[in-house]
């Protein structure tokens, strides 16, 4: 049947998932737990977002309002297919959001940047609210992995919290900054080696 999909997105989720190792075997895939809608705030946002989508699409065909949603409703007489007009409470709408929602594939923070290294935890979760890193970080501000020599991470996983929008451009900026730091460090190391080589006295 003809229809449209009105999508809503929580740009600042407070729920925190986990990415953990299953075993010491590198061939075993990691355990991924998105943990969506874990916090009361995220569930409230989900419920209010579905209500907003209803108002925008369904409008009020019997109203004399000249709003775009009302004109749309009067012209097309839309009816709700999902999650279902019978769902009205915050609890029901939040549950429905979990049932019909999908990821937009922008996870971040599994190698979060910070000033101090992460501590071992049972859950492996990065935090309980936006910007929090109670268990520390994985990489330092130069993108170097704590405790591992000569290893940096330069992708969306270093973001301590998700951006309010697509992660593509911020990830490109992280990569550009990483390249700049690598070139700078290489030039510094090269100059130091030249200095050491040139510092020795010649004999003949």
Distances (CA, A) of 129 to 16, 39, 52, 165, 170: 7, 9, 24, 18, 21
Catalytic one of 81, 106, 135, 186:
106
Quick check: 147 and 117 in contact, CB under 8 A?
yes
Angle at 112 between CA 107 and CA 115, to 5 degrees: 160
Kindly state the tokens that stand for 115. 């000033």
Reply yes or no on whether 186 is catalytic. no
What positions carry a catalytic annotation? 106
């Amino acid at each position: 049947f003809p229809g449209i999909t009105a999508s809503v997105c929580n740009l600042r989720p407070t729920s925190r998932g986990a990415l953990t190792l299953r075993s010491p075997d590198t061939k075993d895939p990691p355990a991924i737990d998105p943990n969506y809608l874990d916090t009361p705030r995220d569930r409230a946002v989900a419920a209010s977002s579905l209500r907003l989508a209803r108002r925008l699409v369904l409008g009020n065909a019997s109203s004399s309002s000249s709003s775009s949603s009302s004109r749309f409703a009067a012209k097309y007489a839309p009816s709700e297919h999902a999650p279902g007009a019978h769902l009205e409470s915050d609890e029901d709408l939040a549950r429905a959001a979990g049932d019909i929602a999908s990821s937009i594939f922008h996870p971040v923070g599994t190698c979060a940047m910070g000033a101090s290294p992460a501590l071992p935890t049972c859950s492996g979760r990065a935090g309980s609210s936006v910007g929090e890193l109670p268990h520390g970080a994985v990489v330092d501000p130069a993108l170097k992995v704590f405790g591992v020599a000569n290893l940096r991470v330069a992708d969306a996983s270093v973001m301590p919290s998700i951006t309010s929008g697509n992660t593509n451009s911020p990830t490109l900026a992280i990569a550009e900054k990483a390249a700049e730091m690598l070139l700078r460090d290489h030039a510094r190391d090269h100059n130091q080696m030249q200095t050491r080589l040139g510092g020795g006295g010649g004999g003949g």
